[in-house]
Structures are given as C-alpha cells and as structure tokens.
Amino acid sequence: MPGFELFGDAERKEVNDVLDSGVLMRYGFDGARNDWKAVKLEKLLAERMQTKYAQLVSSGTAALSVALVSAGVGAGDEVIMPTFTFVATFEAILAVGAIPVLVDVDETLGLSATAVEKAITERTKAIMPVHMCGSMVDLNPLLKLCAKHDLVLVEDACQAIGGSYDNKPLGSIGDIGCFSFDYVKTITCGEGGGLITNNKEFYTHADHYSDHGHDHIGKDRGAEGHPFLGYNYRISELHAAVGVAQIQRLDEFLATQKKYYTILEDALKTIPEITFRKVPEGGVQNYSFISFFLPTGQLAKKAHTSLGQHGVDASFYWYDNNWHYHTKWDHLKELKSLNQFSETIERAVYTSEAKDFSASDQVLSRTISCLIKLSWTEEQVQARAKAMIAAIKSVLA
C-alpha cells in the first residue's frame, strides 16, 4: 500500500486506451468509444467481491453518501459510527441529513458490539462499521443487532480491500459496502470510489442517484428519464482506467504486503511488552498496516516519537491524529460548517458531545500503526524491523 508505488505498463495501457478514444466521460458518446473502462471496472469489482452489483463513483466519501441514500437513510435518521475512522464517515452521514452517533471501539480498532447495542434508539437506521488499517470489525455481532432491530449495515471497507471475514470479502457482508480508490489506497484510481451490493433496489438507486437521477434507459442520454433527484458523483473514464489495471494486480499487492507484514510482526513479537491488534475469528487482513499496543498511552506516544528518530517513517499515533480520531473532531462536535444544519442535527450533535469515550481512549492511546509499503525491498524491510525494535526498546529500557 499504496498501489501508486507500482504504477507500470498495465496502467499506462489502460489510460492510453481512453486518451486514444478521446472520451473521458463514463456515460454517452457511444460511437467514439473503443472500450468502457468504468463498466469494465464495475464488472471486475463485483466479480472480485462476489456480489451481484457494483457502482463506481468519484471518491470513497461519495461512495458512503450514495450508499446511505441508496439504502434509505436520510433526514433525522441516526447512523452509528466509530470514534476511530476518517472524517469522511461523519461527513457522508451529515451530507444526507442524518445524525452521526459516535460509539466506542475495542481492540479490533473497530466498533464494539456492546457499545453499539447501548447506542441503538428508535431513530437508529443504520450501523456503519469501518474496517480501519487493513483489518476488520467483528461483524457477526453487528449483523445480529441489525437483524434484531431491522437496521441497515453499511460496511466501510475503504481501507481494507482484499481482506475477508468468514471467507467473504470485506464490503460484501453488509447490505451495502464501500471502497475508496484514492491515491493512497491499496489499489488506486488516483481519485475514485465504489460500492457493492446484492440488493437490486439499492444498486438501482446508486446507479441513478450518482448521475443526476439519470435512469440510463435507452441509448440517447438526453432522452433518459429522471425518476428522482440525484447529484453528480460520477467517476471519469481516465480514473476508472487506472483502476482496471490495479484491481487485476490486487493479489500481487496483497502477497507483498503479507510478506513484509510477517517480517515486521515476527520482529515485534520478540518484545514482550508489545501486543497486537485483535483480528476477529475468521478474519484475514489485507496487511496494509501493522497495528500494535504498548502497555500505556505514555509509552506508546514516546515509542512513536522514537520510531521517527530511528528513521522509521509512515508510523501513526492515532490518538493525536488530526483526521482519524474523535479527540480532534472539534469541527464536528461544534458543527463548524459553511452550510446550516437542521435543529434536529444540532440538538443531537451537541448532546453527543458530552459522551464518555474513555473505552476508546484506553485503546487508541496505546496504539501505533505502521504502513506497509509495496515499494520496499526485503532488505529494507529487514532493516526497518531492526530499527523498530531498537526504537521501542529504547523507550521501554
């Protein structure tokens, strides 16, 4: 991770196909085309994720927004989300007029089912687990809660493509799943996203809603119907072309990540004070990050600083991170926005600001994650492992 590290002839060929045709838009201009890259990538994505349908959009954030709307989530509905995620999660929820309900995470670094159950109210419409840093939430307890309370499970697999749970691809297990193909994801389109589902109605909604409400019936784009309002969340053919090449290289990327992850994990296991992120039974990571715990938050913060001093780049101490943890989301908690929110959202968000997230804090304050780069050589990984051991031992001494 990320896929751009290994751009090559396959990506160039797909992009040049589009440039040769001169058609950069995913819809229309049928006579001028020699290929349909977005259509091809949707087919490849659905096949890889073992779902009936896939719909490409312009970003992972767009995928989340379109997924929520397509599944019937809207004004005043509550969506349960984790305290540890990227800001796009609550941005998408607010964008559709719904209410983000922050809930504690556990040592999977994903939603705690116990905390989720306590947060369910009569206004809850969906649960949105986020598979952070290449591994997964324990989904079976959440699926049971959705069945019990008639809730939609919107699965955010933006950071975990290629991982699996109970032998099913992440993203395919909920009612609708989302991916990001931005520049720093395991496979990239440069910018882009996608959603997958086995629900035909959800797919039809996503197909229309992401393209101004076009129903895509017939061969005259200007004569197409618009059964309901939509917006412009289209991906371009250029971006889709990059993704066509990248998704066919996913197994190559996953194998490299697993190889380097294992080297680092074996090295870190020699330090008794280190424990590792919990991977649910039946879960297989995509190995894009290695995440581990130090005994205390103070030691974890010092270890993160020491890693940098020892030349270990791309390590993250999420507890103090601007974008991924609730402690730095004042713009959400204070609803600092250029648009005006409804009184319902304002009341709900202001009330939730006072919630106790000490359970999440206890986990994330001890957590360090390190990115696994595809462009490393094995020798570089071995050197990195030695540097990580030296950096952490210097703090524990």
Kindly report the backbone phi and psi dihedral angles of residue 216, in degrees, each rounded to the nearest multiple of 5, phi listed first. 60, 35
Q: Is the pLDDT of residue 317 over 80?
A: yes
pTM: 0.97
Question: Has 185 been annotated as catalytic?
Answer: yes
Match domain 3-249 to its CATH number in 3.90.79.10, 3.40.640.10, 3.90.1150.10, 3.40.50.150.
Answer: 3.40.640.10
Domain boundaries, the chain: 3-249, 251-396
pLDDT at 354: 66
Q: What are the tens digits of pLDDT across the range 230-261?
A: 999 999 999 999 999 999 999 999 999 999 99
SS3 content of the chain, % helix, strand, coil (to 5): 45, 15, 40
Between CA 309 and CA 294 the distance in angstroms is 18
Residue 219: closest CA among 2, 33, 12: 33
Beta-carbon contacts of residue 163 (< 8 Å; ≥ 6 apart): 131, 134, 135, 136, 157, 169, 170, 283, 284, 285, 286
pLDDT at 355: 87
Residue 296: closest CA among 369, 385, 396, 387: 396
Q: Catalytic one among 144, 148, 168, 185? A: 185
Match domain 251-396 to its CATH number in 3.40.50.300, 3.50.50.60, 3.90.1150.10, 3.30.930.10.
Answer: 3.90.1150.10
- The end-to-end CA distance of the chain, in Å, is 32
Q: Is the pLDDT of residue 383 over 70?
A: yes
CA distances to 20, 224, 278, 282, 378 from 27, rounded to whole Å, are 17, 12, 43, 40, 44
What element of type H or E holds 180? strand 176-180
pLDDT at 110: 98
pLDDT at 199: 98
Between CA 228 and CA 204 the distance in angstroms is 11
pLDDT confidence of 353, banded at 50, 70, 90? Answer: low
